A and B are shown apart, each in its own frame.
Chain A
Amino acid sequence: MRSRWAASRRTIVTVVSYGLLGLAFVLGVIWFFWPENSRWEPAVNSLTLVAGLAGIFVERLTAEAERRTEVLRAVARELQENTRLLDDDRFSPQAPNTRQVYPRLVVSAVDSALGSGAIGLHRDAELVSMLHRWRDTVHLFNRRLDLTEISTFSASASAVELAAFHRALHRPDSFFAVTRKQLTDLIPKVPQV
């Protein structure tokens, strides 16, 4: 709803500014052929001035929209990349119980999006809140991977401990499952731009 109103606002301001410029042009042509009327000049100047001011708003709104589009596209691409990482063979329940270095989830696009201010606080409030939660989850997830690697790569780690890590990772209520669900819920919330 908010997104549709933002698009309509940009269209209205654009139409108004180009309309005023068009009208000023018509009046300018009339003034050229019938210069005896002294009111043409202020009319054309006023319309041009108003159209110029409206143009500033058009430019600002368009730049904002383009920046938001770029940021959301980057976030969407990053979330898709994270989905691919979670589907990696090393996270598979069928993966062998061997010690391994796990791929890490990435949040650089989300970090940039939240820091840039390109996604408006009011318009994208729900999305911003979800991205903040997702960023925290990714940091905790990656920290758990660090701890898992430290434990499994220690000299004393036995095959039983490796199996325990494999089992713990794939429990239905494990942090891995929570992370995957949060990602699945987040992806449809990012506007398609």
Chain B
Amino acid sequence: MTEPVHVIRRLEKALTDHDFTWSLVLTGEDQTDKLATLTADLRGPVSTTGDGKQITSGFSYWGIGPTIAWANATSDPFYLVMKAGTESFLRHWRKVRPHLDKGGYHFVSLGIGTGVKDRTILEDLRRSNPNMFYVPVDMSSEMLRLGTVEPVRSARFPIEQVLPVQLDFSLAHNMKELGQMLGRLVDDEPLLYTLTGNTLANFEDDEDLLRLIAQALRPQDRLLLEVASTTRLDQASADAAADEYHQTRAFAEFVTSALRYNTDLKIENERVKFVGEIEDDDALLVKILWQNDTDAEIRMGLPDHTEVPLPVGDTIRLYTTRKYSTARLKRLTTACKLTPVEAIQSQFRYQRRPNPFGLELLLLAPEGAEEADHTLADDIWAR
């Protein structure tokens, strides 16, 4: 009697040279749970400062509506921060790349985004490891499909080496399971995790998320972290940071899209507030809120067909982002037991006046792994 052939092995053969645009997604959790979480988050207490009801990170991109809104925002020529971010990433990546050239890394992209940065990384990593796997991870299957177009279809990365994973990696259990599954997938070969596009700043507890990722890293693994940075920490800078996101209509459409597609709330863009503040004296926090600034209570229908009252002044936090100071980044990496292997920072140059804002790309290794890391300095001082 012959052994039954697993469907996944047959699938590889079945999909080869097929013109139809199949995409394979490994789903790690029940999507109804996610809807329940979103609903529960929107039932939060009344707050006039955006600290009650909220759409947490990940849900901003969840579903086809927010995904399309995100795609529109990223292609908006007036969204200068996005454009400057893509350009600076290329410059920064060129400086980080030598540290990864000889590693033979597999690539795990946490929060895939547009896939443009993933394409750059994939093209370079594949030169040293043609058999590498590309594992984009996102809570949104639509984002996974959209984000893999650029690195996989456009850059002709072999589809049989791609494993998209639909998972909310901000949950401790999920991140741990993902790390273990990837460990079994690649054995002792190193993984390069990336968290680019200032994704870390979108999480309410950024330190907690970074710690979860750091705990999943094995000594041979590395984390590429891209964050927005600031050289000034005052209220004027916080207001300027909030204004940065206020400038394009496409971005406003994106931040409201999760609320638009998951509730029956009628959204008017003038009710969306961009609030900048200084957080813990070492970062600028930008909260994007919807606020009931009418004279009457508004009732909002939720996905479970219940209603939530929104009293006058009540807010729903739609999006959180930050700009980090060097001190905050040092505090975060130290607290999460991560050691910088390389850190490249540059200021935005799209304005005439001096701009305190920029982007920083950090290549991080788990603590204790630096011994294995080989630098130019080691080459010079080797016996």
Among A156, A165, A178, point to the contact of B377 (Cβ < 8 A). Answer: A165
Also in contact, A161 and B381, with CB within 8 A (given A156-B95, A167-B370): no
Asked if B381 and A175 make an inter-chain contact with CB atoms under 8 angstroms apart, the answer reads yes
CB distance from B282 to the nearest CB of A (A): 17
Interface residues in B, total, Cβ within 8 A: 15
Asked if A151 and B343 make an inter-chain contact with CB atoms under 8 angstroms apart, the answer reads no
Asked if B380 and A148 make an inter-chain contact with CB atoms under 8 angstroms apart, the answer reads yes
A174 to B378: give the CA distance in the assembly, Å: 8
Among B343, B378, B380, B383, point to the contact of A159 (Cβ < 8 A). Answer: B343
Asked if A144 and B383 make an inter-chain contact with CB atoms under 8 angstroms apart, the answer reads no
Asked if A174 and B370 make an inter-chain contact with CB atoms under 8 angstroms apart, the answer reads no
Residue from B95, B375, B377, B381 with most neighbouring chain A CB atoms (10 Å) = B381
A160 in the interface (beta carbon within 8 A): yes
Asked if A168 and B377 make an inter-chain contact with CB atoms under 8 angstroms apart, the answer reads yes
Asked if B377 and A175 make an inter-chain contact with CB atoms under 8 angstroms apart, the answer reads no
A173 to B383: give the CA distance in the assembly, Å: 7
Asked if B343 and A176 make an inter-chain contact with CB atoms under 8 angstroms apart, the answer reads no
Main SS at interface, chain A: helix
Residues of A within 8 A of B342 (CB): 158, 160-161
- Mark A151-163 against chain B: 1 for CB-CB distance below 8 A, else 0: 1000010111100
CB distance from A120 to the nearest CB of B (A): 32
Return the chain A residue nearest B344 by Cβ: A158
A95 in the interface (beta carbon within 8 A): no
Asked if B383 and A167 make an inter-chain contact with CB atoms under 8 angstroms apart, the answer reads no
CB distance from B144 to the nearest CB of A (A): 33
B341 in the interface (beta carbon within 8 A): yes
Among B95, B341, B381, point to the contact of A169 (Cβ < 8 A). Answer: B381
CB distance from A139 to the nearest CB of B (A): 15
B382 in the interface (beta carbon within 8 A): yes
A174 to B377: give the CA distance in the assembly, Å: 10
Asked if A151 and B380 make an inter-chain contact with CB atoms under 8 angstroms apart, the answer reads yes
Interface residues in A, total, Cβ within 8 A: 20
Asked if A167 and B344 make an inter-chain contact with CB atoms under 8 angstroms apart, the answer reads no
CB distance from B345 to the nearest CB of A (A): 9
A56 in the interface (beta carbon within 8 A): no
A193 in the interface (beta carbon within 8 A): no
Also in contact, A158 and B343, with CB within 8 A (given A167-B370, A178-B383): yes
A148 to B95: give the CA distance in the assembly, Å: 19
A164 in the interface (beta carbon within 8 A): yes
- Mark A133-153 against chain B: 1 for CB-CB distance below 8 A, else 0: 000000000001001100100
A171 in the interface (beta carbon within 8 A): yes
A160-B343, A175-B381 provided; 15 other pairs, C-beta below 8 A? A144-B381, A147-B380, A148-B380, A151-B376, A158-B342, A158-B343, A160-B340, A161-B377, A164-B378, A165-B377, A167-B377, A168-B377, A168-B381, A169-B381, A173-B383
Q: 22 pairs across A/B with beta carbons < 8 Å? A: A148-B377, A148-B380, A148-B381, A151-B376, A151-B377, A158-B343, A159-B343, A160-B341, A161-B375, A161-B376, A164-B377, A165-B377, A167-B370, A167-B377, A168-B377, A168-B378, A168-B381, A173-B383, A174-B383, A175-B383, A176-B381, A178-B383
Closest 5 CB pairs of A and B: A168-B377, A165-B377, A168-B381, A164-B377, A164-B375
